[in-house]
């Protein structure tokens, strides 16, 4: 009897060890039983990195939501976030140091004019953020009223300076009709508040912040005169050619995150983004939500085109105007077709 029991126990142990050895814990790949008695391997997950313009801020919530809500994972992507300036992002993407970038579109246009091999695969921001901002008591209501005024810009090479020139030109003035003053990024808003200047060519996000703090300001949005774009998703020519499914999957996840936020979850997305990614914005949840509702949701992420063709759709005529204008004002030395930069047929 003892001998029989011993044999039974030995057989059972061998069976258990064999079962363990065939699973993930035994060094193999976990398998999922398939209908018909076969086995199907788990879906392969591709690890990719997206380099984001600047630093972690809650305005990048669509990317953070796509990761935290599992939308990237649904597309077989394990996404990491790193940060850099726009010019470095474009170079890193082109060199395949990172698979995706999220820079300002102006830097991408400049890079393409220098034959840097990148493609825009998702026009996330349908418009630019530029605006001329001024106090309401300065007697400014339209571009013509800027004549003789002192207008601050961060540099003579900045996109906002180009936008100011175009705005003036389209209204019968030139840059010589205003007094332009260089003021650094960290001081330009204070220069407006302290009446050091009459207006600033900067980001429209500051309009919302200033109004929220009690300063009575208004703005003229630059995009009404020079079509432009904010942040867009880019990848390299090489990665797009060899990993088209991953690019489509990235866009699909990002679109799902945009739909989630716009569909009534802005506050939840902001709270999560600040808690997990942008801790430096702690305490700014309320103003950030207002900026989302006033600027990002109705103006940047959506347009008549996105309502027809979906988030990230590219208006090629607007892209071409942006490119041609940069060439006209000698920001770029070489002109090119928008179709050489922006991909519209990712299916």
Convert the pLDDT of each residue in 110-160 to its tens digit.
999 999 999 999 999 999 999 999 999 999 999 999 999 999 999 998 899
> Which of 3.40.190.10, 3.40.140.10, 3.40.50.2030, 3.40.50.1100 is the CATH number of 46-127+229-340?
3.40.190.10
What pLDDT is stored for residue 29 in this prediction?
32
What pLDDT is stored for residue 347 in this prediction?
76
* Backbone φ/ψ region at 330: left (φ over 0), alpha (ψ -120 to 50), beta: left
Q: Over the stretch 159-171, which tens digit does the pLDDT of each residue have?
A: 999 999 999 999 9
CATH number of this structure's domain 130-224? 3.40.190.10
In order of 131, 200, 221, the CA distances from 167 in angstroms are: 10, 13, 9
Reply yes or no on whether the pLDDT at 317 is more than 80: yes
Reply yes or no on whether the pLDDT at 40 is more than 90: no
What pLDDT is stored for residue 41 in this prediction?
46
User: For 8-35, what is the mean pLDDT?
Assistant: 35
What pLDDT is stored for residue 39 in this prediction?
47
User: For 246-271, what is the mean pLDDT?
Assistant: 98
Reply yes or no on whether the pLDDT at 38 is more than 50: no
For 112, the token pair is 């393409």
Instruction: Give the integer Cα–Cα distance in Å for 193 and 181.
Output: 15
What pLDDT is stored for residue 7 in this prediction?
40
Q: How confident is the model at residue 25 (pLDDT cuts 50, 70, 90)?
A: very low
For 161, the token pair is 């300076």
Reply yes or no on whether the pLDDT at 308 is more than 50: yes
Instruction: Give the integer Cα–Cα distance in Å for 347 and 341.
Output: 17
What pLDDT is stored for residue 345 in this prediction?
86
User: For 50-60, what is the mean pLDDT?
Assistant: 97
Where do the structural domains in the chain lie, given as residue ranges?
Answer: 46-127+229-340, 130-224
Q: How confident is the model at residue 44 (pLDDT cuts 50, 70, 90)?
A: confident
CA-based torsion, 294, 300, 304, 306: positive or negative: negative
Reply yes or no on whether the pLDDT at 300 is more than 80: yes
Q: Element (H or E) spanning 47, and its range?
A: strand 46-53
User: For 296-301, what is the mean pLDDT?
Assistant: 98
Instruction: Give the integer Cα–Cα distance in Å for 231 and 121.
Output: 12
Q: How confident is the model at residue 1 (pLDDT cuts 50, 70, 90)?
A: very low
Does this chain's domain 46-127+229-340 share its CATH topology with 130-224?
yes
Instruction: Give the integer Cα–Cα distance in Å for 98 and 80.
Output: 10
User: For 220-225, what is the mean pLDDT?
Assistant: 95
Reply yes or no on whether the pLDDT at 22 is more than 80: no
pTM for the full model?
0.85
Reply yes or no on whether the pLDDT at 35 is more than 50: no
């Amino acid at each position: 009897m003892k001998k029989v029991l011993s044999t039974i126990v030995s057989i059972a142990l061998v069976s258990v060890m064999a079962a363990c050895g065939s699973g993930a814990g035994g060094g193999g790949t976990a398998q999922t039983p398939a209908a018909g008695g076969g086995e199907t391997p788990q879906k392969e997950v591709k690890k990719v990195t997206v380099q984001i313009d600047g630093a972690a801020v809650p305005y990048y919530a669509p990317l953070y939501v796509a990761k935290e809500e599992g939308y990237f994972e649904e597309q077989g992507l394990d996404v990491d976030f790193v940060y850099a300036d726009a010019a470095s992002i474009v170079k890193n993407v082109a060199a395949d140091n990172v698979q995706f970038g999220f820079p300002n579109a102006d830097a991408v246009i400049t890079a393409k004019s220098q034959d840097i091999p990148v493609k825009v695969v998702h026009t996330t921001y349908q418009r630019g953020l530029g605006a001329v901002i001024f106090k309401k008591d300065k007697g400014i209501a339209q571009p013509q009223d800027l004549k003789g005024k002192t207008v601050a810009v961060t540099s003579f090479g900045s996109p906002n300076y180009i936008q100011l020139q175009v705005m003036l030109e389209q209204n019968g003035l030139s840059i010589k009709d205003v007094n332009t003053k260089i003021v650094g990024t960290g001081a330009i808003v204070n220069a407006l508040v302290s009446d050091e200047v009459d207006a600033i060519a900067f980001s429209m996000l500051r309009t919302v912040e200033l109004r929220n703090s009690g300063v009575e300001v208004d703005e003229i949005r630059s995009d009404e005169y020079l079509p432009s774009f904010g942040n867009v998703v880019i990848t390299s020519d090489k990665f797009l050619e060899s990993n088209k499914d991953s690019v489509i999957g990235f866009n699909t996840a990002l679109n799902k995150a945009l739909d989630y936020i716009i569909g009534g979850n802005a506050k939840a997305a902001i709270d999560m983004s600040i808690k997990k990614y942008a801790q430096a914005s702690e305490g700014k949840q309320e103003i950030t939500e207002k900026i989302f509702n006033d600027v990002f949701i109705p103006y940047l992420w959506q347009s008549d085109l996105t309502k027809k063709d979906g988030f990230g759709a590219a208006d090629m005529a607007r892209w071409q105007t942006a490119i041609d204008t940069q060439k006209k004002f000698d920001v770029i030395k070489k002109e090119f077709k928008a179709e050489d930069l922006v991909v519209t047929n990712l299916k």
